[in-house]
Structures are given as structure tokens and as C-alpha cells.
Structure 1
Amino acid sequence: MVNAKHLATFILGAAAGVALNKYFQTEEGEKALADLKVKAGQFKDEAEQAIDKAPEYFEKLKTEVSATLKDNFPDAEVFLQELFGKTKAANNPATEEPKA
């Protein structure tokens, strides 16, 4: 159901589109559009670099967290292995060793 509010929103959006189109046809608008394209390209390059560096960053983070845990909580590794070992065995009873 289209009501007056939706119709007004559509008309305002269309008017804004027409105004932007007219603005981008001026010399100043063309310069602004060119600047926008340059900035978009720079942003894309930065995003691609961040994606390329993400695996290295997370590997470094994992190593640093592991070292910090070992330094500050020496029993944490044993605790986590026991915890996850019990959880793994509970989720997959076929892998449990038979009790004597």
C-alpha cells in the first residue's frame, strides 16, 4: 500500500537525484566527482592491503596471546587441553577409551 509518506519520500529522492546529476555536470561537480573517485580508489587499496595483512596479524595475535597465557597462567594450557579433551570425548563417545 502506497501512502502519502512513501510518495513524498520517492519524490524527494528523485529530486535529490536530479539535483546531483545537474551538479555533477558542472565544472565544480566534475572536479568533486574526480576527487571522489580518487578517494574511493585509495580506500579500496587500503582495504585490500588490510585483507592481505589479516592472516599475519591474527597469527601474531595468536602467538602473543599464547605467550601471555603461558607467562601469566602456566596451568592454563593443561586446563584447556583437559577441558577440550573432555568436551571432545563427550561429543564423540566412540573415541573414548574403554574403561577397565
Structure 2
Amino acid sequence: MGINSKHLATFILGAAAGVAAHKYLQTEEGEKLLEDLKSKANNFKADAEGAIDKAPEYFDELKTKGADTLKSAFPDAEAFFKDLYEKFVGSKGEAGTTTSTDPIPEPIS
């Protein structure tokens, strides 16, 4: 793979942008920008760590409220899911039961 003029121009522009950014960050205004970015990053990190600490409480509350809402909106849902679970576990747990399998159709070519 050869180097063509587009690759060379891209490399030169990238290098020029890097030099310009380095020169800008050496100025007083650039140093202020870096300090501002560092403080914002530290604030973001603190917020993220706080969110991690609060996550278990949030998910417990979400689970409780979700279950209550489901029970009030669909009162028969709990019985339905229990029956469904029993059918699923019961069919796997019983020995000697045969399950009928439908033939798998051939794929269309």
C-alpha cells in the first residue's frame, strides 16, 4: 500500500494541529482551559461515584414500585407467572415424560 498525496496531506495537517494545540495550551488562557477541564472531570467523577453508591437503593425501589404497579394494574399477573413457571419447571423436572416436537422445516434456498 503506497503513500499517496491524501495520506501525506492528512499527516501534515494533523501534525500542524498538534503543534498549534501544544502552543495554545502553553499560554495562560490554555492553562486556564486545562484547569477548567480538570475540575469538570473531577466533578463528573464524583457524580459518577455517587451514582454507583446510590444504584442498589434505586434498583430496590424500582423493583418494589414496579411490582406494586404490576399487581395493581394486572391483579392476575402473579398467578399467571406462577403457573407459567410451574409448567416450565414441571416439564423439565419430571422424569419419563415425552415432549412432542414439531418437525423442523427445511430452509428455503
Q: Please show how residues 1-100 of structure 1 align to structure 2 within 5 Å.
A: 1=1, 2-90=3-91, 93=92, 95-96=93-94
Count matched residues. 96
1:21-70 CA-partner distances (Å, limit 9, x unpaired): 11110011001101110001001111111111111111111110100011
CA separation of 1:23 and 1:73: change in aligned 2, threshold 3 A:
same
Unaligned runs of 5+ in 1: none
Distance 2:9 2:51 in 1: 42
Greater mean deviation of Cα atoms: 23-32 or 79-88: 79-88
Question: More helix by proportion, 1 or 2?
Answer: 1
Q: State the TM-score, normalizing by the size of structure 2.
A: 0.74
Q: Cα offset for 1:96?
A: 2.7
**Percent of paired sites with the same residue:** 62
Distance 2:84 2:4 in 1: 59
Unaligned runs of 5+ in 2: 98-109
Please report the RMSD computed on the Cα atoms of aligned residues, expressed in angstroms: 2.2
